[in-house]
Amino acid sequence: MTTPQVPAPASHEHLAGQPHAIVERDGVRYTLLGTAHVSRASVDAVQAAIASGGYDAIAVELDEQRLQAMTDPDALGRLDLVKVLREGKTPLFMANLALAAYQRRLAEQMGVEPGAELKAAAADAAAAGLPLQLIDRDVGLTFRRAMQRLGWWGRARVSASLLMGLLSSDEVGADEIERLKQGDVLEASFTEFAGQTPELYEAIIAERDRYMAARLREPPAGARNVLAVVGAGHLKGLASHLREDREAPADVRESLERVKPKSRVPWMELIIGTVVVGGFAWGFWRGGVDVGADLMLQWVLVTGGFGALGCAIAGGHPLSILAAFVASPLTPLHPALASGTVSALVEAWLRKPTYADFMALRDDVNSARGWWRNRVARVLLNFFLTSLGTAIGVWTGGLRMLGKIFG
């Protein structure tokens, strides 16, 4: 079998002083240019590399969603918030907002938009008529796989940290900025929210190194010299996978895009539901109608009260607060009636967000007052605080019920 001939190397003067690696495989020369996501010098290096004319394809560490967010500021205004709520994508939407708010803080502090070099690579590739390859994994998949690795407590901690990050206006610390200069914007963002853990590293860095290497091994037709613009933190791992991986690229991508399906048996809901229904049954059996009805009333008042309180703190409409009160006692018994989703849907229906709300969202979430002023943000706050209130109410009501049973 004849080995494809690798094209003659282009001049690499534009790479002088820049972290980079060159890998030759299957007749293609890959030039991996490592960048700092908050550096004007990286933007200049990318533009100089493309202007050199030595490449016939450009690859960037982006997915469709992140590229659209960078290049189409009006995309947010076309979002169907009700659809997001119904499809259970509210946590992912909030994570994207937190990432955007974090990047906004960085841009204001550093004077350079995070990922500006990736945006420049995409724009210059289009201007030069070069094919653009988006090699990163969908950010939603990365988020879900990372959250699955953390377990229940880790997910709760990240969710709370995401909300705090959205409300924060503090400057980004020197350690985070240094990580961005040497690493990856998603890694720095998750570290900001949840701290560094092996589980996060595996999903956010190691898996994406392997995924991007697989995508690079599927270059545009006819490409022989490919420039890949990636965060400097990916350079070593990406080059290693690009040289050494032997598994078919499609198989690699399939395995790294797979999200573990939720258990068909909702064990936690079954346990809580059994305790609640069992408590009611015990009350009616041991104490008659009076005791059983009293237990049921206490459950409704405690869970409904906490859920409604969360909605009220979020500035919910009176009917949204009522919806939270009605749905909260039923949430542990019927997961499809999640109180946060129900109250947020009612809020979005009664106070329909406008195009202006979506356009102002990234600015408004940078202040506490903006969260209550912006209708989109208030719907999200409604979802989160109602869910939190219901969770507190469920555990409080459940413990009170157990106290009466075993007391």
DSSP 3-19: PPPPPPPPP-GGGTTS-
Mean pLDDT of the chain: 79
Q: Indicate whether 190 pLDDT > 60.
A: no
Cα–Cα distance for residue pair 105/168, rounded to 1 Å:
9
Q: Which residue has the tokens 């002088």?
A: 16
Q: Which of 71-80, 172-181, 221-230, 392-401 has the lowest average pLDDT?
A: 172-181
Q: How far are the Cα atoms of 70, 346, 374, 383 from residue 320, in angstroms, in the given order?
A: 34, 5, 16, 10
In the prediction, which pLDDT does 1 show? 41
In the prediction, which pLDDT does 320 show? 95
Cα–Cα distance for residue pair 111/113, rounded to 1 Å:
7
Identify the residue with better confidence: 357 or 309.
Answer: 309
Q: Mean pLDDT, to the nearest integer, of 352-371?
A: 80
Cα–Cα distance for residue pair 183/36, rounded to 1 Å:
7
Please give the structure tokens belonging to residue 144: 């879900």
Q: Nearest-5° angle of CA 54, CA 60, CA 65?
A: 150
Cα–Cα distance for residue pair 167/397, rounded to 1 Å:
30
In the prediction, which pLDDT does 29 show? 94
Identify the residue with better confidence: 148 or 26.
Answer: 26
pTM, full prediction: 0.70
* Strands of the sheet with 225-231, listed across from one edge: 20-25, 28-35, 225-231, 57-60, 132-134
In the prediction, which pLDDT does 179 show? 56
Q: Indicate whether 325 pLDDT > 90.
A: yes
The single-letter code of the amino acid at 160 is: A
Percent of the chain past pLDDT 70, that is, above it, reads 74
Cα–Cα distance for residue pair 353/347, rounded to 1 Å:
10
Identify the residue with better confidence: 271 or 135.
Answer: 135
pLDDT digits (tens, 9 = 90+) for 117-158: 888 999 999 999 999 999 999 888 887 887 777 766 666 666
Identify the residue with better confidence: 2 or 270.
Answer: 270
In the prediction, which pLDDT does 5 show? 55
Q: Which of 3-7, 75-79, 98-102 has the lowest average pLDDT?
A: 3-7
Q: How far are the Cα atoms of 180, 204, 348 from residue 228, in angstroms, in the given order?
A: 18, 19, 42
Q: Which residue has the tokens 């980004």?
A: 172
Question: Among 317, 202, 238, 217, which Cα is nearest to 32's?
Answer: 238
Percent of the chain past pLDDT 90, that is, above it, reads 31
Cα–Cα distance for residue pair 256/260, rounded to 1 Å:
11
> Which range has highest mean pLDDT (33-42, 73-82, 210-219)?
210-219
Q: How confident is the model at residue 194 (pLDDT cuts 50, 70, 90)?
A: very low
| Burial tier of 3 (Cβ tally within 10 Å: 0-12, 13-18, 19+) | exposed
Q: Mean pLDDT, to the nearest integer, of 229-235?
A: 86
Q: Indicate whether 4 pLDDT > 80.
A: no
List beta partners, residue 57: 226
In the prediction, which pLDDT does 304 show? 93
Q: Which of 9-13, 94-98, 365-369, 378-382 has the lowest average pLDDT?
A: 9-13
Q: Mean pLDDT, to the nearest integer, of 359-370?
A: 78
Identify the residue with better confidence: 189 or 259.
Answer: 259
In the prediction, which pLDDT does 147 show? 76
Q: Indicate whether 185 pLDDT > 70.
A: no
In the prediction, which pLDDT does 346 show? 94
For residue 133, the SS3 value is: strand
Q: Which residue has the tokens 């005791």?
A: 291
Q: Indicate whether 297 pLDDT > 80.
A: yes
**CB 76 within 8 Å of CB 358:** yes
In the prediction, which pLDDT does 91 show? 73
Cα–Cα distance for residue pair 50/27, rounded to 1 Å:
21
In the prediction, which pLDDT does 2 show? 46
The single-letter code of the amino acid at 210 is: R
Q: Indicate whether 276 pLDDT > 50.
A: yes
**CB 359 within 8 Å of CB 293:** no
DSSP β-ladder status, 57-60 and 20-25: unpaired
**CB 229 within 8 Å of CB 58:** yes
Within 8 A by CB and 6+ apart from 285, the residues are 292
